[in-house]
Amino acid sequence: MNYSISVALQIWHPVLSVDQLQALFNKSPDIKYSGGEKLFAKRNESYICYDVVPMQDFDDLYESIKKANAVVLGMLKEKTSLFELKQTGGRICFYCAIYTKEHIVFTVPSEILREVSGLGIDIGVEVFQNYID
C-alpha cells in the first residue's frame, strides 16, 4: 500500500452557533469553535469538525469517501438539514488527507460525486508527500 487516507467532515456557518450546528448530528464534534472566538485568529464563522474516517490504508479515494458518506448519513438527524445549511450560507466539506511516500494519481467516480453533491458536500483534498510513518 502506497498511501493512507483520513476523512473529516467540516462545517462552517456565518450565523448559526456551534450548538445549532451540532444539533444536526447524533454525535459531538471532535473540533468546534464559535464565530467571534479567537483560536489562532478571530473567526467569523462557527465551525465543527468530525473525524469520520480515521487514517487507514485504502486502495483509492472512492473507497474512503464512500465509507465517509455512510458514516455521515448515520450521524445525521435529518438528511435535508445539510441542504438547508448550505441555503443559509453554510459550507460543508469532506476534508481528505492523503499521506504518501510516492506520487499518486486518483479519480473520484461520478457515482460518488452524485452522492456527495446530493448532500451538498464539497470535497477537499490535501496530499502530504514524503510522509514518514
Q: What angle do CA 73, 75, 78 make, to 5 degrees?
A: 70
Q: State residue 63 phi and psi, 5-degree precision.
A: -60, -45
- Tell me, yes or no, whether 82 lies in a domain: yes
- Tell me, yes or no, whether 17 lies in a domain: no
Residue 119 in grid coordinates: 448532500
How many structural domains compose the chain? 1
Q: What angle do CA 93, 9, 59 make, to 5 degrees?
A: 90
Q: What is the pTM of this model?
A: 0.84
Residue 74 in grid coordinates: 448515520
**Terminal C-alpha separation, the chain:** 13
Per-residue pLDDT of the chain (133 residues; tens, 9 = 90+): 568 889 999 999 998 889 999 998 888 999 888 766 665 555 688 999 999 998 888 877 788 888 888 888 888 888 778 888 889 999 999 999 988 888 878 778 888 888 888 888 999 999 888 765 5
- Tell me, yes or no, whether 66 lies in a domain: yes
| Secondary structure, 3-state, 78-116 | CCHHHHHHHHCCCEEEEEEEEEECCCCCCCCCHHHHHHH
- Tell me, yes or no, whether 23 lies in a domain: no
- Tell me, yes or no, whether 103 lies in a domain: yes
- Tell me, yes or no, whether 112 lies in a domain: yes
Q: State residue 107 phi and psi, 5-degree precision.
A: -125, 155
- Tell me, yes or no, whether 22 lies in a domain: no
- Tell me, yes or no, whether 84 lies in a domain: yes
Range of the domain at 113: 3-10+50-128
